[in-house]
Structure 1
Amino acid sequence: MASVLRKTLSPSIREIRILCCQTSASSLGTRQFVINTYETLKKANPDLPIMIREAKGTPARAFARFERGVERHVSLEGLDEKSVGDKIGELVTNSSTAA
């Protein structure tokens, strides 16, 4: 997991949404990331909404909503668990350029 996700995230981040398919091989890394990382991420950020949405056929993606309604997303399709963590880490650390 990206080390940034083990710490309290910037207060400018308002929510994180992770979308994936519960059966497709291209979402496997995302599902593994959620299983192995959600608890740690939530403990470090108890007041941050972290939503996991699974739906058949949904491409694996992560969204971060920042203050002032700015929203960014990244594709997680076909990535392994470590790469998913790295991509989400990049997404949430770019908050300084989001506002």
Structure 2
Amino acid sequence: NPNHCAKMAGVRAAAKFGSHLKELRLHLCQKSAESAGVREFVMKHYRSVKNSNPNLPILIRECSGVQPKIYARYEFGKESHASLSGLSADQVMTTIQQMAQKTA
């Protein structure tokens, strides 16, 4: 499927984040349906994102019953967050990319 290949190439190409982003934290539940896409993201994309951003702390926090969210910390202590509830792994990646482009 050519669209799938193009989409995956885009994910890989966009996985390098700017230096203004200081930390990413993913909060997810080990079992809930709402966190399924976040768990899949960790399995499918975490390694490539980490390899592209070796100096960026990417923290994975599992907690039973927690709503899946991403927290981004930027320069000067600014933070933002977004819900990841019910998203697919690719939608989680898109959300991370959007947050990485922000400056808080």
TM-score normalised by the chain length of structure 1: 0.89
What is the Cα deviation at residue 82 of structure 1? 1.1
* Matched residue type, 2:14: V
Which consecutive residues of structure 1, in runs of 5 or more, have no partner in the other structure?
none
Which residue of the other structure, out of 26, 35, 54, is the alignment partner of 1:18? 26
* Matched residue type, 1:72: S
* Matched residue type, 2:32: S
Please state if 1:41 is matched with 2:49. yes
Quote the residue 1:84 is aligned against: 92
List per-residue Cα deviations over 1:47-88 (Å, max 9, x = no partner): 110000011011110011001000011100011111111111
Instruction: For 1:4 and 1:93, locate their aligned partners in 2 and report how far apart those are by CA, in whole Å.
Output: 10
Runs of 4+ in 1 over 3 A off after TM superposition: none
Instruction: For 1:46 and 1:85, locate their aligned partners in 2 and report how far apart those are by CA, in whole Å.
Output: 17
- Give the number of the structure whose alpha-carbon radius of gyration is greater: 2
CA RMSD of aligned residues (A): 1.2
What is the Cα deviation at residue 21 of structure 1? 0.3
Quote the residue 1:31 is aligned against: 39
TM-score normalised by the chain length of structure 2: 0.85
Please state if 1:4 is matched with 2:14. yes
Which consecutive residues of structure 2, in runs of 5 or more, have no partner in the other structure?
1-7
Identity of aligned residues (%): 39
* Matched residue type, 1:76: L
List per-residue Cα deviations over 1:11-64 (Å, max 9, x = no partner): 011100000000001100010001111110111111110000011011110011
